[in-house]
């Protein structure tokens, strides 16, 4: 595993040790990753931008100041393209942000840099994180490293695929309805969505402000704990960031699960869940029992309304958040000068900029969201959905009185074929059926590898926890992971 000839295959904690022991230099590590990216990214297409020259300079700079060794000293991290990095292209996979270079950093970027991380590049994503397949990006789709004909999941598909394909050591993604966990599951990596408010959203280009949360995608659970240690915590620039102490998450990683009470929601093991997924998840639950946990069936009766609720709340917020993309201050402006159009010139600029700048799914969601907020529909749609959201949250509050965590499949199916659901939005939306509830309730959830289908596609196990108890999830995930070898499997990066 610790093949020094292939440092790109290593985890962050392994690399930290090697750097500390001076067995590898940051430049050598970077070179191995850049070579790996050259070798495989033309097939995976996980990156949208990698600035090799400035990376090499940054690596040299880091090496020349070993005094400022931080918690992530020399660790390469891929950043999802909706997280602002000062002076670097940040486009959300959308033509409407073509050429945009923010004059500021996201708080998570400041924190990663402050701890010595090397920001490797920007990862592909569904346009504005609208999607579950990473196919709606203006740069074209990312491919699943386990089967290049399949989707990597989304919207953080580029982050998940680059981690799975060993093109990076770890990555940041964002999760509004499953956008970290579902691609993590489909690519066979660890993906962690923290509690809403745990990680600052400042500099994350908003999709749905009340649901979005930044989190890590990593090769193992320990790396997720390491990254969370750095990115979590109060930020005065984000009014919704919680002033709650951040523990050292690595101290919770132990190999047994004595006393852990697991709830198994019957609503997540129903018709429509792939047979192999169902089996793998049950095997995992039994393994957790062997490690000392207890489990019981529970009910989250409002789960079945989660997708419907989400597809009111999220597009409504998105429709408002995306109003700022209008061709005035930054990004794309339509050059159209159709003199036959009698529309006033400014309105014409707005209409054509947004027509040409947004892709089909973005338009669909903007229109859906605008509709549910528009005069006469607000109460029936938006307000109703916010109330059902309360019900969904109450389900979890009730269950968490008696249980420490909830275990479910992350996705009802393994990775599907590229193009399969693109013209069937509703079916696409249903791929997030098991991940959406955690966003609506604002609670943390992690996806970890728990097996493979007969076709060799990864399967993910989701563990959902109480607000701000990320440590419990990491403990459960780590103990399970360490008793299996799923996380050590590597894809061949070929067609299935």
Per the document, the length of the chain is 496
* DSSP class per residue in 393-404: HHHHHHHTTT-S
The span from the CA of 229 to the CA of 473, in Å, is 14
Residue 140 region by backbone torsions, left for phi larger than 0, else alpha for psi between -120 and 50, else beta: left
* C-beta of 144 vs 309, nearer to another protein: 309
Which of 270, 269, 222 is CA-nearest to residue 249? 222
Nearest distance, CB of residue 119 and another protein, angstroms: 16
Q: 282 has which bridge partners? A: none
| H or E segment to which residue 167 belongs | none
Point out the catalytic residue in the list 94, 137, 155, 372: 155
CA atoms within 13 A on the CB side of 146: 29
Active site residue 437: no
| CB contact at 8 A, 58 and 68 | no
Instruction: Report angle CA 476, 484, 399 to the nearest 5 degrees.
Output: 25
In Å, how far from its chain's centre is CA 150? 18
Point out the catalytic residue in the list 132, 179, 352, 437: 179
The token pair at 140 is: 């074209």
Nearest distance, CB of residue 298 and another protein, angstroms: 19
From residue 239, alpha-carbon distances to 197, 202, 242, 414 in Å are 9, 9, 8, 37
* C-beta of 197 vs 265, nearer to another protein: 197
* C-beta of 84 vs 217, nearer to another protein: 84
* C-beta of 301 vs 496, nearer to another protein: 301
Nearest distance, CB of residue 97 and another protein, angstroms: 7
**Which residues lie below 8 Å from residue 412, measured CB to CB, with a gap of 6+?**
272, 273, 274, 277, 430, 431, 433, 434
Nearest distance, CB of residue 210 and another protein, angstroms: 4
Phi and psi at 317, nearest 5°, equal -65, -40
The span from the CA of 270 to the CA of 278, in Å, is 9
* C-beta of 60 vs 348, nearer to another protein: 348
Nearest distance, CB of residue 339 and another protein, angstroms: 13
Nearest distance, CB of residue 374 and another protein, angstroms: 5
| Parallel, antiparallel or unpaired: strands 405-409 and 261-265 | parallel
Phi and psi at 79, nearest 5°, equal -115, 130
Q: 469 has which bridge partners? A: none
Active site residue 80: yes
**Is 220 in a helix, a strand, or coil?**
coil
Nearest distance, CB of residue 82 and another protein, angstroms: 8
| CB contact at 8 A, 431 and 274 | no
The span from the CA of 84 to the CA of 100, in Å, is 10
The token pair at 375 is: 């005069």
Nearest distance, CB of residue 345 and another protein, angstroms: 4
User: What is the dihedral angle through the alpha carbons of 274, 280, 286, 291, rounded to the nearest 10 degrees?
Assistant: -140
> Cis before residue 356, ω within 30 degrees of 0?
no
* C-beta of 309 vs 413, nearer to another protein: 309
* C-beta of 195 vs 218, nearer to another protein: 195
**Is 121 in a helix, a strand, or coil?**
strand
* C-beta of 71 vs 354, nearer to another protein: 354
Active site residue 179: yes
* C-beta of 111 vs 201, nearer to another protein: 201
The span from the CA of 238 to the CA of 231, in Å, is 13
Nearest distance, CB of residue 173 and another protein, angstroms: 15
Would you please indicate which residues are annotated as catalytic (active-site) residues? 80, 155, 179
């Amino acid at each position: 595993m610790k093949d020094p000839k292939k440092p790109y295959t290593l985890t962050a904690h392994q690399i930290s040790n090697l750097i500390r022991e001076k067995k590898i230099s940051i430049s050598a590590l970077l070179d191995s990753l850049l070579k790996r990216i050259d070798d495989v990214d033309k097939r995976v297409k996980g990156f949208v931008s990698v600035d090799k020259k400035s990376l090499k300079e940054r690596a040299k700079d880091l090496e020349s100041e070993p005094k400022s060794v931080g918690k992530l000293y020399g660790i390469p991290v891929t950043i999802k393209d909706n997280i602002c990095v000062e002076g670097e292209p940040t486009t959300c996979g959308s033509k409407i942000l073509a050429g945009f270079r923010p004059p500021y950093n996201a708080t998570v970027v400041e924190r990663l840099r402050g701890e010595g991380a090397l920001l490797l590049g920007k990862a592909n994503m569904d346009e504005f994180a609208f999607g579950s397949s990473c196919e709606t990006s203006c740069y074209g789709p990312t491919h699943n490293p386990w089967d290049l004909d399949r989707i990597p999941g989304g919207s953080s598909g580029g982050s998940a695929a680059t981690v799975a394909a060993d093109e990076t050591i770890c990555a940041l993604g964002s999760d509004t309805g499953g956008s970290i966990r579902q691609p993590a599951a489909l690519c066979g990596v660890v993906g962690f969505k923290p509690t809403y408010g745990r990680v600052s959203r400042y500099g994350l280009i908003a999709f749905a402000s009340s649901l979005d949360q930044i989190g890590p995608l990593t090769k193992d659970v320990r790396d997720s704990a390491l990254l969370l240690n750095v990115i979590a915590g109060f930020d005065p620039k984000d009014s919704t960031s919680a002033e709650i102490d951040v523990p050292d998450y690595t101290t919770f990683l132990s190999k047994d699960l004595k006393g852990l009470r697991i709830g198994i929601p019957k609503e997540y093991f129903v018709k429509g869940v792939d047979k192999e997924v169902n089996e793998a998840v049950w095997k995992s639950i039994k393994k957790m029992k062997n490690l000392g946990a207890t489990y019981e069936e529970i009910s989250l009766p409002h789960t079945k309304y989660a997708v419907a609720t989400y597809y009111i709340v999220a597009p409504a917020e998105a429709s408002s958040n995306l109003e700022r993309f209008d061709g005035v201050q930054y990004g794309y402006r339509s050059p159209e000068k159709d003199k036959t159009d009698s529309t006033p010139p400014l309105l014409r600029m707005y209409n054509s900029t947004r027509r040409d700048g947004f892709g089909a799914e973005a338009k669909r969601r903007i229109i859906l969201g605008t509709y549910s907020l528009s005069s006469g529909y607000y109460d029936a749609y938006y307000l109703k959905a916010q109330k059902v959201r309360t019900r969904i949250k109450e389900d979890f509050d009730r269950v968490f009185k008696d249980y420490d965590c909830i275990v479910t499949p992350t996705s009802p199916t393994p990775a599907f074929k590229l193009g399969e659901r693109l013209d069937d939005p509703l079916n696409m939306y249903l791929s997030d059926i098991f991940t959406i509830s955690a966003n609506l309730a604002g609670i943390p959830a992690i996806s970890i590898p728990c097996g493979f289908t007969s076709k060799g596609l990864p399967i993910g196990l989701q563990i959902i926890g109480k607000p701000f108890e990320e440590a419990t999830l990491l403990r459960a995930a780590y103990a399970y992971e360490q008793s299996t070898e799923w996380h050590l499997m590597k894809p061949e990066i070929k067609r299935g």
